[in-house]
Amino acid sequence: MTVRQVADHMQVHPETVRRWLRDGALRGLNLGGVAGWRIQQAELERFIDEREKPASS
C-alpha cells in the first residue's frame, strides 16, 4: 500500500502516515524518490490493532 492509500484508509493526512513511518510506529519499505514508501497490509493491520489496545496503567 502507498502512503496515500494508508492515509485514506486511516482517514488521516499523508504526512501523518509519513511521521508514523519515520518514528518507527508503522513499518514500511522506503523505495526512495518518487516511489516513496510501501506498507504491507499485514503491517497496517498490526498497527491498527496496537492503536486499538487500551493503554495499560
Residue 37 lies in a domain: yes
Cell numbers of 45, please? 493491520
- Render pLDDT for 27-51 as a digit per residue (tens, 0 to 9): 999 998 889 999 999 999 999 999 9
Residue 57 lies in a domain: no
Q: Which helix (H) or strand (E) segment is 16 a member of? A: helix 14-23
- Cα angle at 42 between 39 and 43, to 5 degrees? 50
Residue 27 lies in a domain: yes
Q: Which helix (H) or strand (E) segment is 30 a member of? A: strand 29-30
pTM of the complete model: 0.87
Residue 46 domain boundaries: 3-52
Residue 22 lies in a domain: yes
Give the per-residue pLDDT at 53: 82
Cell numbers of 47, please? 498497527
Residue 41 lies in a domain: yes
Number of domains the chain contains: 1
Distances (CA, A) of 40 to 37, 43, 55: 10, 5, 25
- Render pLDDT for 8-32 as a digit per residue (tens, 0 to 9): 999 999 999 999 999 999 999 999 8
Residue 47 lies in a domain: yes
